[in-house]
Amino acid sequence: MKIAVVGTGYVGLVTGTCLAETGNQVICVDINEQKVKMMQAGQLPIYEPGLEVLFNRNINESRLLFTTNLAEAIAEAKIIFLALPTPPGGDGSADLSYVLGAAKDIAGLITDYKVIVTKSTVPVGTADKVTAVLKANTTVECAVVSNPEFLREGVAVDDFMKPDRVVVGTMDERARKLMGELYGPYVRQGNPIIFMDERSSELTKYAANSFLATKISFMNEVANLCELVGADVDMVRRGIGSDDRIGKRFLFSGIGYGGSCFPKDVQALEKSAAENKYDFKILNAVMDVNQIQKKVLVEKMRGYYKDGLKGKKFALWGLAFKPDTDDIREAPALYIIEELLKDGATVVAFDPEGMPNVKKLLGDKITYAENRYDALNGADALLIITEWPVFRTPDFDFMKEKLKAPVIFDGRNLYDLERMKEYGFYYNSIGRKV
Ligand code: UGA
């Protein structure tokens, strides 16, 4: 099938590449000339495990092309994916100007039936708005489909190639058929393509992310209570997760959810409820809990250092909002760094992928270490912020030599309590005994 993907951000690029991988002819279009040139030369502008191999293969086999010319991209495409940004506007609701602007441009260019698919996370009612823009600007018949993505950064290729489900929202029969054909190869194992109306599909995306964020905030509150009553959240997690109705995944307490999706989507769903005069109480609580949780590690430190944090030096392992990504958007690390600097401490950080992005944002407000151990030199304590695999089995004896004091504040519960005691560390984690 011939496909165009408008927007080559994270979602667009993964979508385009993975669609080419099953034999479709894909053209990705972006207004950023420099980025397009880079991709044409076979360079990936983002870090995503497993993507590079597919990207290079499909470029080499001429199934994946890049252009800045929208007309050229959509001329032969049957299906046009819109993977454009929908940043939160000033009032917290998603800004649709990119999506609606692209719909208008497309309307001015098409001469035959097209299926226009919104892949970006967009508020309920957006498909209707896109349809209205198309109708106002062309008489050519076209269908609008809502097809939210459920990709996780770090495992996006796998999530695309083997999705738990594909959600397709449209009432246009022709479009349903085409979308079913397009996604067929990805659900061969029997996972469903769930067809529904546009509004239900749009809401599904927000409900999924908000539910997951709720799960995390719930567990973070359980962890906080564990500390007060002398229970261990890891035990509680295993105890409840074995119930199929609850599930083992996404129950890890920590220092709050971050990233470009959960914070934005929970806020947007609450906002959209409020606009419809519905008070979505749980979502307000989820957001409040998350705000508090991002600072929980610093609060622990403030309690530990009776003389305050001023003049102390702290090593941070991890900056990215989660492992296997260089993404630092809404990363708990940024909130923690802000608090530490506010209290007059200095920070030395190490992250396998996240340092360049933090450097761009914070410059020399903190220092950056060459490797995980160098970060520890003379530091008063180590803070574990992101659970990169490389932090899981370090040389604890060597760490003790490097640190000024054997103190670890762990926001991700990486280590066994008993072992840390044996090694002689003061070890303070989340929802477990100190
Ligand atoms: C999330 C969803 O998982 C995807 O399904 C969705 O497509 C995507 O948002 C999106 O809307 O585009 P992502 O933001 O990449 O994906 O990251 P997750 O792996 O879901 O993690 C989100 C945050 O939750 C991270 O800060 C992570 O540390 C935190 N988390 C996750 C926990 O604190 N505990 C857990 O048990 C799981």
Per the document, the length of the chain is 434
- Collapsing DSSP to helix, strand or coil, 29 comes out as strand
Residues 63 and 209 grouped into a single domain: no
Find out whether the beta carbon of 252 lies less than 6 Å from any atom of ligand 1.
Answer: yes
Q: Is residue 383 part of a domain?
A: yes
Q: How many CB atoms lie within 10 A of CB 286?
A: 27
Whether 94 is in a domain gets the answer: yes
When divided into structural domains, the chain yields a total of: 3
Structural domain that includes position 51: 2-196
Ligand 1 contacts CB of residue 152 (under 6 A): yes
Q: Select from 125, 130, 202, 139 the least CA-distant residue to 169.
A: 202
Tell me the two tokens of residue 101. Answer: 């602007």
Give the ligand 1 atom nearest the CA of 332.
26
User: Among residues 145, 167, 196, which one ends one of the domains?
Assistant: 196
Q: Long-range contact list for 42-46, CB < 8 A, 24+ apart? A: 44/13, 45/8, 45/13, 46/10, 46/13, 46/326
Q: Is residue 287 part of a domain?
A: yes
Q: How far is residue 286 from each of residues 185, 282, 290, measured CA to CA in Å?
A: 37, 6, 6
Residue 261 annotated among the catalytic residues of the structure: yes
217 is written with which tokens? 């905030």
What pTM value is reported for the model? 0.93
Kindly indicate the confidence band of residue 142, based on its pLDDT and cuts at 50, 70 and 90.
Answer: very high
Q: How many helices (H) and strands (E) does the chain have?
A: 17, 14
Confidence band, pLDDT 50/70/90 cuts, at residue 51: very high
Q: Is residue 409 part of a domain?
A: yes
Element (DSSP H or E) covering residue 210 = helix 198-229
Residue 434 lies in a domain: no
- Answer whether residue 76 is part of any domain: yes
On whether 211 is known to bind a ligand per the annotation, the reply is no
Evaluate whether residue 333 is within a structural domain. yes
- Amino acid in the structure at residue 158: D
233 shares its domain with 91 = no
Whether residue 305 is found in the same domain as residue 232: no
- Domain end among 274, 292, 310: 292
Please say which residue of 292, 319, 348 terminates a domain.
Answer: 292
The sheet carrying 114-118 orders its strands as 64-67, 25-29, 2-6, 79-82, 114-118, 142-146, 166-169, 193-196
What is d(CA 118, CA 305) in angstroms, rounded to the nearest whole number? 51
Q: What is the pLDDT of residue 153?
A: 87
pLDDT single digits (tens) 308-367 = 999 999 999 999 999 988 899 999 999 999 999 999 999 999 999 999 999 999 999 999
The string of pLDDT tens digits covering residues 68-114 is: 999 999 999 999 999 999 887 777 677 899 999 999 999 999 999 99
- pLDDT at position 47 is 85
Looking from the CA of residue 220, the nearest atom of ligand 1 is 33
3-state secondary structure of 384: strand
Same structural domain for residues 263 and 355?
no
How many whole angstroms separate alpha carbon 266 and alpha carbon 428? 30
Residue 150: is its pLDDT beyond 70? yes
Tokens 């890049």 sit on residue: 66
Residue 48 shares a structural domain with residue 173? yes
How far, in Å, from the CA of 282 to the mean position of ligand 1?
Answer: 18
Residues 303 and 378 in one domain: yes
Q: What is the pLDDT of residues 268-283, one digit of tens each?
A: 899 989 999 999 999 9
Same domain for 241 and 99, yes or no, is no
Is 27 near ligand 1, meaning CB less than 6 Å away?
no
Atom 9 of ligand 1: nearest residue by CA position: 261
Read out DSSP for 289-319? HHHHHTTHHHHHHHHH-TT-STT-EEEEE--
- Residue 365's pLDDT is 97
Kindly tell me the sign of the dihedral angle through the C-alpha atoms of 391, 158, 160, 74: positive
Q: Is residue 240 part of a domain?
A: yes
Question: Can you tell me which atom of ligand 1 is nearest the CA of 156?
Answer: 15
CATH number at residue 47: 3.40.50.720
Q: Please indicate, yes or no, whether residues 152 and 281 belong to a single structural domain of this protein.
A: no
Are residues 282 and 365 located together in one domain of the fold? no
- What's the confidence (pLDDT) of residue 156? 95
184 with 133, same domain: the answer is yes
Interior angle at CA 308, CA 306 and CA 313, nearest 5: 120
Longest CA pairwise span in the chain (Å): 74
Query: Does 172 have pLDDT greater than 80?
Result: yes
The gap from C-alpha 215 to its chain's centroid, in whole angstroms, comes to: 16
Q: What is the DSSP string of 230-246?
A: T--HHHHHHHHHTSTTT
Q: Are residues 118 and 245 in the same domain?
A: no
Contacts of the segment 41-47: beta carbons below 8 A, 24+ positions apart = 44/13, 45/8, 45/13, 46/10, 46/13, 46/326, 47/325, 47/326, 47/353
Q: Looking at residue 154, what is its pLDDT? A: 87
Per-position b or e across 294-323, b if 16+ CB within 10 A of its CB: bbbbbebbeeebeeebeebbbbbbbbbbbb
- The 8 Å CB, 24+ separation contacts for 242-251 are 250/212, 250/215, 250/216, 251/215, 251/219
Q: Does residue 329 have its Cβ closer than 6 Å to ligand 1?
A: no
Q: Are residues 26 and 167 in the same domain?
A: yes
Q: What's the CATH number where 220 sits?
A: 1.10.1040.10
Ligand 1 contact via 107 beta carbon (within 6 Å): no
pLDDT of residue 92: 67
Separation of alpha carbons 38 and 388, rounded Å: 29
